[in-house]
Amino acid sequence: MLKSLEINGFKSFAKKGDIRFTSAITAIVGPNGSGKSNVAESFRFALGEQSMKSLRGKKTEDLIFNGSDMMPRANRASVKLVFDNSKRLLGVDFDEVSIERVIHRDSLSEYYVNGTQVRLKDVVELLAAANIGSSGHHIISQGEADRILSANIKERKEMIEDALGLKVYQYKRDESVKKLAKTRENMERVASLRREIAPHLKFLKKQVEKIEKTKALREEVRALYRDYLANERAYVVAEENAIAESEKGPQVELAQLAIELARAREVLESSKVRDARTDEVVILESEIGALRVRKDACAREIGRLEGELASLVRMKAREESKAIRGDIAVSWREIETNLKDVIGACESVSGSSDVNALQNALGQAKSVVATLLLKYASETIKSDTTEIDAEIVTLTQGREEALKALEVVRVDEELVSQKRKSLEFAIDSDKDASRDAEKELFRIMALENEARGKLSMLKVRKDKIHIEKEAFAREVEEGMVLIGRSVYEYESHQVTGKSGTDRSVQEDCRRAIERIKVRIEDSGALGGEDVVREHNETEERDTYLIKELADLEASIVSIEIIIKELEERLDVMFKEGIKKINDRFGEFFALMFGGGTASLSIVREKKRKRALEEGELPDPNENEEGEEGVAIDVSLPRKKIRGLEMLSGGERALTSIALLFAISQVNPPPFVILDETDAALDEANAKKYGDMIESLSKHSQLIVITHNRETMSRASVLYGITMGKEGCSKLLSIAFGEAVLVAK
């Protein structure tokens, strides 16, 4: 129930005015121009009306008291409505609710509920639940009563929906439609995000697959390294130990023979029968010793050259296996120049929406890349083993020369040996005692040469194993780069087979390691921890987006169900409301006209007809039904009038009043404001009008602005509005109940 209206600075009310609504019917009277209609507009204003036309103004300042000759203008205007909410008609937990709107000359509007500033949306939602709005069926101004008759079927339907209290459901439906559109936008945005990251995720998946493949290869090569290096180390150690052990015998023997040789020479040198043959034997032995030193040097050189050749052959095989991948050496400066050209082309159109510019930039970048590819496409990829081949040729030639030199030395040694043997034979035939010493000398020297030969062969083995040891160290370094510190697992690994002595098995294992190295280098996925982490993060984001899409799809289904339920409920409530209105409309119409019939019907306008009414040329093939609306059918008693177009001005007024009152009784609002809606009625119809407002007051609180005495007589409280010399409206009140007591 409405308790009071407080006006301050609004239009003609320069000073604070307070109207108390203590009865079912309150009448507001006064001469023309005194500001009566400003009271009705103050209700619209406080309830959130945004149309300046409905408030009879052009701008916000027109609603604030503009001053007069005797009073200054106001800087603000406020209207406050106070409601009795003991029945909780308004959805707040207060027995009394005040709604206030304040405007300033800077066009700023403020809204308050019980003194707390709120939004216009909050006010509209609060009032909609109680079937109250800023305009519509419960605020009927002079001249607007006919609006429901002159409106088209769509507008008339909207008025009736507002009167039936369907706005709250329409508001919920519209909010659901907005939410549905927003959800679909979000769904499209999420789907767009998935589309954006899909290529990158696909690329990352391929990279991760390469990384996993590389991990498997690294595990495989680690196992091979473990066996190969363990066996190789065992082989090197065993060879070194064997050589050291083999050197001990010849070294001891040489030391003993050196002592014996010194004794034999002493005997020869002291012999008195020494002749020329003895001197010749000494010379021949010296030559043989020199030749054997040269032979040993040649043998060592050949061993060294063969070891280096074996190392170069392995290096060449490794380079040739790399060349299978088709790598081409390209100048970094050339790559950098081409990349700068591509980046420059992209940056020149950054942020541009010009399709031609984007295409030109793309073409320029494509041309740069195509030129670079074309430049190297025809080049035959070859392994860069030129230097290795040259070194192999040099070492091969050196080995051939060393072999030739060795052969020459061997021939010379054979000749000298033959000469010495001949001399030995001659000496053997000599039975002289001094010849025995010579024989001993020859024997000792032969044994000495034999021991030196053994040491020379061991020296070749030692040089070869040194080369193998260096190759082993290089393999460990390469393994360290490839698989990290796990390469040292060979140190604690149990050797297999014959501890590396089977060199063909070791060579096969080494080739298998080289092949895996090439495959790992081809994969290009070494050190891919960052790629794996990025892939996991991107995959988690994609999973989240998939879940988000599923949630949004479920939300869309839920919202669509809500919208459908609201539309069905609106349709049912509207049709039931039309039926109830027709019952009361017929009664009021018959009361006003002394008979006749009147009713509302739900129709659909043809699009062709609507186009003609709106002054447009219709489509000759257009016959589709338009939007739903409400038509009014009337039949006056004793007249053949069946359409609104044939009614006179008075008949239209009576018809509109009957319809508005019928609507108000179907879903009664808390209060109804009637602003001179009885102005066109004669005395007989004014009495019927008075009877109807008394009937209506049983359902809604009435505020009647009128000049009609009959209407005034139905009110319990009468407020008079006057305008004095100050140029502002003033309020006077009379309570008829108290006046009657005073009169008695």
pLDDT digits (tens, 9 = 90+) for 252-287: 888 888 888 787 777 666 554 445 666 777 787 788
- Which is more confident, 383 or 449? 449
Query: What is the pLDDT at residue 356?
Result: 61
Q: What is the pTM of this model?
A: 0.50
Rounded Cα gap, residues 729 and 15, in angstroms: 8
Q: Is the dihedral of CA 36, 38, 39, 40 positive or negative?
A: positive
Q: How many CB atoms lie within 10 A of CB 135?
A: 20
Average pLDDT, the chain: 80
Residue type, 381: I
CA 415 from chain center: how many Å?
A: 92
CA distances from 661 to 136, 363, 399, 650, 706 (A): 13, 75, 127, 16, 17
| Residue carrying structure tokens 């982490």 | 533
Q: What is the DSSP string of 167-223?
A: HHHHHHHHHHHHHHHHHHHHHHHHHHHHHHHHHHHHHHHHHHHHHHHHHHHHHHHHH
Query: What is the pLDDT at residue 100?
Result: 95
Lowest mean pLDDT among 137-151, 290-304, 469-483, 602-616: 602-616
Whether 688 and 653 have beta carbons less than 8 Å apart is answered as: no
Q: Could you give the 3-state DSSP secondary structure of residue 567?
A: helix
Whether 77 and 10 have beta carbons less than 8 Å apart is answered as: yes
Residue 243's pLDDT band (boundaries 50, 70, 90)?
confident
Q: Could you give the 3-state DSSP secondary structure of residue 31?
A: coil
Whether 60 and 107 have beta carbons less than 8 Å apart is answered as: yes
Q: What is the DSSP string of 57-96?
A: -SSGGGGB----SSSPPPSEEEEEEEEE-TT--SSSS-SE
* Token reading at 673: 């404001």
Query: What is the pLDDT at residue 743?
Result: 46
Residue 498's pLDDT band (boundaries 50, 70, 90)?
low
Give 369's contacts (C-beta < 8 A, 6+ positions apart): 338, 342
Rounded Cα gap, residues 318 and 388, in angstroms: 11
Q: How many CB atoms lie within 10 A of CB 4?
A: 15
**Closest C-alpha among 718, 739, 737 to residue 36:** 718
pLDDT digits (tens, 9 = 90+) for 329-382: 566 777 778 787 777 777 776 666 666 666 667 767 767 777 777 676 555 444
- State the SS3 of 427-442: HHHCCCHHHHHHHHHH
Give 411's contacts (C-beta < 8 A, 6+ positions apart): none
Whether 558 and 595 have beta carbons less than 8 Å apart is answered as: no
Rounded Cα gap, residues 348 and 350, in angstroms: 6
State phi, psi for 627 to the nearest 5 degrees: -75, 160
Q: Give, in degrees to the nearest 5, the angle at Cα 36 between 31 and 42.
A: 170
Is it the case that residue 36 has pLDDT exceeding 50? Answer: yes
| Greatest mean pLDDT among 47-56, 137-146, 277-286 | 47-56
| Greatest mean pLDDT among 53-67, 104-118, 254-268 | 104-118
Give 321's contacts (C-beta < 8 A, 6+ positions apart): 514, 515, 518
Residue type, 288: I
Whether 46 and 56 have beta carbons less than 8 Å apart is answered as: no
- Average pLDDT of the segment spanning 564-585: 90
Q: What is the DSSP string of 626-672?
A: EEEEEEEEEE-TTS---SGGG--HHHHHHHHHHHHHHHHHHS--SEE
Query: What is the pLDDT at residue 119?
Result: 92
State phi, psi for 501 to the nearest 5 degrees: -70, -25
Rounded Cα gap, residues 470 and 314, in angstroms: 13
Is it the case that residue 29 has pLDDT exceeding 50? Answer: yes
**Closest C-alpha among 584, 582, 595 to residue 631:** 582
pLDDT digits (tens, 9 = 90+) for 162-208: 777 787 788 888 889 999 999 999 989 988 888 888 888 888 888 77
Query: What is the pLDDT at residue 380?
Result: 44
CA 70 from chain center: how many Å?
A: 67
Residue 607's pLDDT band (boundaries 50, 70, 90)?
low
- Report which DSSP code applies to 488: G
pLDDT digits (tens, 9 = 90+) for 378-406: 554 445 567 877 888 888 888 788 888 88
- Average pLDDT of the segment spanning 437-458: 80
| Residue carrying structure tokens 């019907």 | 601
Q: Residue 220 half-sphere exposure, CB side, CA atoms within 13 Å?
A: 16
Q: What is the DSSP string of 330-384?
A: --HHHHHHHHHHHHHHHHTTTT---HHHHHHHHHHHHHHHHHHHHHHHTSPP---
Whether 1 and 84 have beta carbons less than 8 Å apart is answered as: yes
Query: What is the pLDDT at residue 699?
Result: 82
Is it the case that residue 629 has pLDDT exceeding 70? Answer: yes
Lowest mean pLDDT among 80-89, 150-159, 430-439, 690-699: 430-439
Residue ranges and CATH numbers for the domains of the chain are 1-138+672-744 (3.40.50.300)
Give 506's contacts (C-beta < 8 A, 6+ positions apart): 228, 231, 232, 235, 500
Is 679 exposed, middle or buried, given 0-12, 13-18 or 19+ CB atoms closer than 10 A?
middle
Cα end-to-end span (Å), the chain: 32
CA 447 from chain center: how many Å?
A: 89
Whether 487 and 476 have beta carbons less than 8 Å apart is answered as: yes
Q: How many CB atoms lie within 10 A of CB 364?
A: 16
Residue 614's pLDDT band (boundaries 50, 70, 90)?
low
Give 164's contacts (C-beta < 8 A, 6+ positions apart): 573, 574, 577, 663, 666, 667
Residue type, 181: A
- Average pLDDT of the segment spanning 708-723: 89
**Closest C-alpha among 114, 143, 127, 160 to residue 48:** 127
